[in-house]
Structure 1
Amino acid sequence: MSNLVNTERNGLRRRANYSTFPSLSSWMSDILGSDINTLMTSNFNTGMTLPATNIKETDDAYMVEVAIPGMKKEDFDIEIDQNILTISNEQEFEDSEEKESYTRREFGYSSFKRSFTLPETADDEKISANYENGILAIEIPKREEAKQKPARRIDIK
């Protein structure tokens, strides 16, 4: 009994060839193209997590709220470069304990980096940030000419 069957790949139906084995290149493509990235990254902790982020727009500004509890405002790096707002954090920690018969040493590293392209209506000279109760709040004011003006009535002469 053969385990070779007709398969579908990239929307094309391939007919099984019972007389030959798959070529080395197709075999490598099947292996490397399938789950190699998942296999390699699923068993390793990269130390990188992305915090939850809310973005909202008001008449006068854009608000970015990032949930990052348990840190201090000094732990964050906020930069603007070529109209891209980047929020990042890196932390290293080490804990050790030495006793007569053993030494315990634990260490770790964590980081994140989030980048956002600012809209053309943003006034990047007036951006402000505040960190309180685990929420990093960044206010990005709109340029004066981009703010929505209230409707007004025009009298007919």
Structure 2
Amino acid sequence: MSNLIPTVKNGSESNSGLGFKSLPSLSSWMDDIINKSFGNEFMSNFNTGITLPAVNVLDNNEEYIVEMAVPGLKKSDFDISLDNQMLSISAELSTENDDVNENYTRREFGYSSFKRTFSLPESVETDKINAKYEDGILKVLLPKRDEAKKKPLRHIEIS
């Protein structure tokens, strides 16, 4: 898995006005020691980035729409719940692969999960919330109450 947040190893490559290079950060220095001692194979199995899915929140006249990019999951992997105007969207996925060869057995497994929570405005009609998952995008539709919907512009004549 690739890093989601780019990091600079061994400090910055740019020189300051005095001609000094900045010192490497402690975490960069530790990464270099571990990679030299154990090789890149040791660290390649650790996730060092943030794995929360990207979210868009749209506001139109009729509803709010929460879109979440979560490819590779099934509908059954999600848990969407509402508790006191707090919307929670979470998913949990675990995988196991068995590979049997004549001299060894290798078992690989993985686990990933996330949970995002959103505080809903009072204008959401909570009884009519629904969700759909299609092409790797989860959409949660949050309909607005009638009184919260935007009214058309009305021109007022001056008497």
Find the partner of 1:93 among 88, 92, 95: 95
Shift of 1:152: 3.4
Structure 1 unpaired stretches of 5+: 1-34
Shift of 1:96: 1.1
Report % sequence identity.
54
* Aligned match of 1:26: none
Instruction: Tell me: CA distance 1:46–1:76, structure 2 relative to 1, closer, same or farther (3 Å).
Output: farther
The AA in structure 2 aligned to 1:127 is I
Q: Aligned-residue CA RMSD in angstroms?
A: 2.6
Q: Does 1:81 align with 2:83?
A: yes
Shift of 1:72: 1.5
Shift of 1:100: 2.6
Instruction: Tell me: CA distance 1:46–1:110, structure 2 relative to 1, closer, same or farther (3 Å).
Output: farther
Shift of 1:60: 1.3
Q: Is the 8 A contact 1:48 1:111 kept in 2?
A: no
Q: Is the 8 A contact 1:47 1:110 kept in 2?
A: no
Distance across 2 between alignment mates of 1:70 and 1:91 = 10
* Aligned match of 2:9: none
* Aligned match of 1:70: 72
Shift of 1:89: 0.4
Distance across 1 between alignment mates of 2:125 and 2:146 = 8
Per-residue CA deviations over 1:13-54 (Å, capped at 9, x if unaligned) read: xxxxxxxxxxxxxxxxxxxxxx79xx8xxx753897111100
Map residues 1-157 of structure 1 onto 2, 5 A cutoff.
Answer: 44-45=46-47, 49-152=51-154
Distance across 2 between alignment mates of 1:147 and 1:50 = 31
Shift of 1:154: 5.9
The AA in structure 1 aligned to 2:152 is P
Greater C-alpha radius of gyration: 1
The AA in structure 2 aligned to 1:64 is V
Instruction: Tell me: CA distance 1:49–1:121, structure 2 relative to 1, closer, same or farther (3 Å).
Output: same
Equivalent residues, number: 120
Q: Is the 8 A contact 1:59 1:148 kept in 2?
A: yes
Instruction: Tell me: CA distance 1:145–1:95, structure 2 relative to 1, closer, same or farther (3 Å).
Output: same
Distance across 2 between alignment mates of 1:81 and 1:48 = 26
Distance across 1 between alignment mates of 2:155 and 2:92 = 54
TM-score, with normalisation over the residues of structure 2?
A: 0.66
